[in-house]
């Protein structure tokens, strides 16, 4: 019977909440770290992936980044890409150290912005067994340009205010992670707000805010140049109706021109 247990690991001195799901049967099991997207937490639909992997005989470790969800850390909702990458590394090492896990067969699964961390980590480590990314955000500048200059201009005053607050030791200035088109938010694509909210349970609403200056990190981070360094088997799953990252449209066009030599799925 599939078993999920609460766990914790430490990343740079901060406690991160985690959930270990083991498949039926004796171990050691192959395992995969589930890396969620921007502002998302374990409660936002990761359970269905835990169950799917478990049914295939694969253990999973899901986790909340520090300062989000059930994890510790303050100020809350400080969504630093550098810190999240460190959390991902700590989660990966934690799963590999589990006595129920075959450390030689541990992979990474990342969705949306979590794909960025999966690709970056697998380019840095030679012990990653396999990588799957879905709806990947892999090039921050491209995603920012794809959304247009309007959202950038609307966020700029809040970003400046947040930087001033950081410099003076004042409480952070927050903006929504996702909002309706024309509003101030990091993501304002049509339907994005409804989509984000649809993944959160009614008794645990999505904490829709980010320290404004952290949006700068999202706009400059990239995994494009690291892709050639990935030695593990890599599967890229893109969405037919993706509206957040123009990179995915380019992937689809490139796929139509060339059969390629790596697995590819379209949803």
DSSP string, 211-243: ETTHHHHHHH-B-GGGGGG--S-EEEEE-TT--
The pLDDT value recorded for residue 149 is 75
Domain range for 123 is 3-266
Confidence of residue 251 (pLDDT cuts 50, 70, 90): low
| Average pLDDT of span 113-136 | 94
The pLDDT value recorded for residue 266 is 42
CB 61 within 8 A of CB 91: yes
* Angstrom distance (rounded) from CA 249 to CA 25: 41
Q: Residue 207: how many CA atoms within 13 Å on its side-chain side?
A: 18
Whichever domain contains 12, its CATH number is: 3.40.50.1820
Quick: pLDDT tens for 54-79.
999 999 999 999 999 999 999 899 88
81-96 vs 113-124: helix crossing angle, rounded to 10: 60
Confidence of residue 261 (pLDDT cuts 50, 70, 90): very low
| Average pLDDT of span 35-44 | 92
Q: What percentage of the chain exceeds 90 in pLDDT? A: 62
Q: Which residue has the tokens 């295939």?
A: 56
Q: Which two tokens mark 22?
A: 């083991």
The pLDDT value recorded for residue 90 is 99
| Average pLDDT of span 122-136 | 94
Q: How many domains does the chain have?
A: 1
* Angstrom distance (rounded) from CA 74 to CA 14: 10
Over the range 158-191, which residues count as b (16 or more CB within 10 Å of their CB) and which as e?
bbebbeebbeeeeebbbbbbbbeeeebbbbbbee
* Angstrom distance (rounded) from CA 115 to CA 100: 26
Quick: pLDDT tens for 85-117.
999 999 999 999 999 999 999 999 999 999 999
The pLDDT value recorded for residue 245 is 56
| Average pLDDT of span 138-154 | 77
Return phi, psi of residue 54, to 5°. Answer: -60, -40
């Amino acid at each position: 019977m599939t078993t999920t247990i609460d766990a914790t690991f430490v990343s740079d001195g901060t406690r991160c909440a985690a959930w270990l799901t083991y498949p039926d049967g004796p171990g050691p099991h192959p395992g995969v770290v589930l890396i969620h997207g921007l502002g998302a937490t374990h409660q936002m639909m990761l359970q269905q992936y835990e169950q799917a992997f478990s049914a295939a005989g694969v253990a999973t470790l899901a986790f909340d980044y520090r300062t989000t969800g059930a994890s510790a850390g303050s100020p809350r909702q400080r969504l630093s890409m550098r810190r999240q990458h460190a959390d991902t590394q700590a989660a990966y090492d934690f799963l590999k150290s589990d006595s129920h896990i075959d450390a030689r067969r541990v992979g990474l699964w990342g969705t949306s912005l979590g794909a960025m961390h999966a690709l970056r980590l697998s380019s840095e480590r030679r012990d990653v067994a396999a990588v799957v990314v879905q709806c990947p955000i892999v090039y921050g500048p491209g995603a920012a340009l794809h959304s247009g200059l309007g959202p950038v201009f609307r966020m700029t005053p809040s970003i400046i205010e947040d930087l001033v607050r950081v410099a003076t030791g004042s409480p952070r200035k927050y903006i929504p992670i996702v909002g309706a088109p024309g509003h101030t938010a990091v993501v304002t694509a049509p339907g994005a707000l409804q989509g984000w909210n649809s993944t959160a349970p009614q008794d645990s609403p999505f904490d829709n805010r980010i320290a404004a200056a952290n949006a700068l990190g999202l706009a400059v981070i990239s995994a494009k140049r690291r892709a050639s360094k990935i030695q593990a088997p890599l599967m890229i799953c893109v969405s037919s109706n993706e509206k957040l990252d123009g990179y995915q449209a380019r992937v689809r066009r490139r796929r139509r021109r060339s059969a390629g030599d790596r697995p590819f799925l379209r949803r």
